[in-house]
Amino acid sequence: MKTETRSHLTEEEDDKEEEDSSPSATLNCGEVTIFFPIQKQPEDYYYDSEGGYTQPSWKPPIPIEDGIWKPIHVKTNGEGRKRLVFPDPLVEIYDVKVDLCGKTYGKIHGKILFDCTTYNTYLFDHDKESALVIHKKGSLPFNGPDVAPLGYDPIAFLVDLNIDDDKLCEGLVTWDFGFRPVNEWLCGEVKGKNGSVQVIFAVMEGAWLGELDVKLIKSLTEQTIGFKIHGDIIVYINDMPYLRSFIFSKKSSDSFTIKSMESIPLSKSLFCCRYGSSLVVKIDLWNSDTNEPLVRGALFFPPEYYGDSVGKLNSPYGEIQVKVNWVDYHNHSKTCEALRLFLGDIY
């Protein structure tokens, strides 16, 4: 079964049946031995923040990793560089899904405020005049946060959204390190009379920060300066493929003009990656003038050393450079600024 993404990218789900042999456990109670099965949660389940495993009304596709989409391993020369140490528990926000309760589409406006101990920002902030059209069970485009929340902090999502002239939903999603799971797909839902919102996020037990930059670095022809592009740039963790972020997504009717050596504007550039995992950047960009592929491929970035890891994808028009700058939470410039402002407010 195949599912179309927001522009050209096609992804598929693997619907293989589970094998009959399931894991089991043994419990010895004196002279009595009890055998019982251990329930394996399939990957399309998430852990509901209110408690318990739940299957959502939508099933996100697993990214294809064959052919041109097989991620290329970006190897970084570690000579003279320090290895990443001391990971922190960090919160990553992946998606905000809107269910319009049967309506085909609607104009969404309102606010979603993300709040933690040291930092708060609006993930979504649109008044009625700048409302966005969302179809059925679509995703809200959201910004940032550009400071990764520390997983020790209690966090909250304050949702207050409207659809056309009616209230969509209003409520609160919370998470606390002492009572919620880590390294799980978490989903907090806010329900209303005219629809609901699901905030998809994860808390990684030990992670570092990777700041992403994507740009066209070499032009092979003069015509490449100032041409229009559309398509998708997607980021996900290799062993958590259901959790994806569309950081660039434009249709041909809403194309973006790219220039050599200029960074492509991303809705989000800062990502968390836990110890033992890797960040995957998948690029599917097209020339809007000719409707021909510009660059299509994926890069695989393991967090190994402080500083830049640089990968490249070739295109008919030049080279696309993808750079990930690795840093730990406490040494990131925006984190330091957020902590400075927070401590300044206290003292």
The answer, yes or no, to whether residue 335 has pLDDT greater than 80, is no
- Same domain, yes or no, for 230 and 194? no
The pLDDT, as a whole number, for residue 29 is 40
- Same domain, yes or no, for 140 and 195? yes
150-202 pLDDT, tens digit per residue, is: 777 788 899 999 999 999 999 998 888 776 677 777 888 899 988 899 888 88
- Same domain, yes or no, for 249 and 280? yes
- Same domain, yes or no, for 148 and 235? no
Domain CATH for 309? 2.60.40
Is 286 part of a structural domain of the chain? Answer: yes
Parent domain of 316 = 207-331
Is 167 part of a structural domain of the chain? Answer: yes
Is 41 part of a structural domain of the chain? Answer: no
Residues 6+ apart with CB under 8 A from 8: 231, 232, 284, 286
- Same domain, yes or no, for 95 and 201? yes
Q: Are strands 72-73 and 292-301 parallel, antiparallel or unpaired?
A: parallel
- Same domain, yes or no, for 101 and 192? yes
259-312 pLDDT, tens digit per residue, is: 778 899 998 888 999 888 999 999 999 888 888 888 889 999 999 999 999 999
Is 66 part of a structural domain of the chain? Answer: no
- Same domain, yes or no, for 194 and 130? yes
- Same domain, yes or no, for 217 and 289? yes
- Same domain, yes or no, for 201 and 211? no
Query: Which residue is it, tokens 């902590």?
Result: 339
Is 18 part of a structural domain of the chain? Answer: no
- Same domain, yes or no, for 201 and 93? yes
- Of 205, 238, 271, the residue at which a domain comes to its end is 205
Structural domain tally of the chain?
2
Is 150 part of a structural domain of the chain? Answer: yes
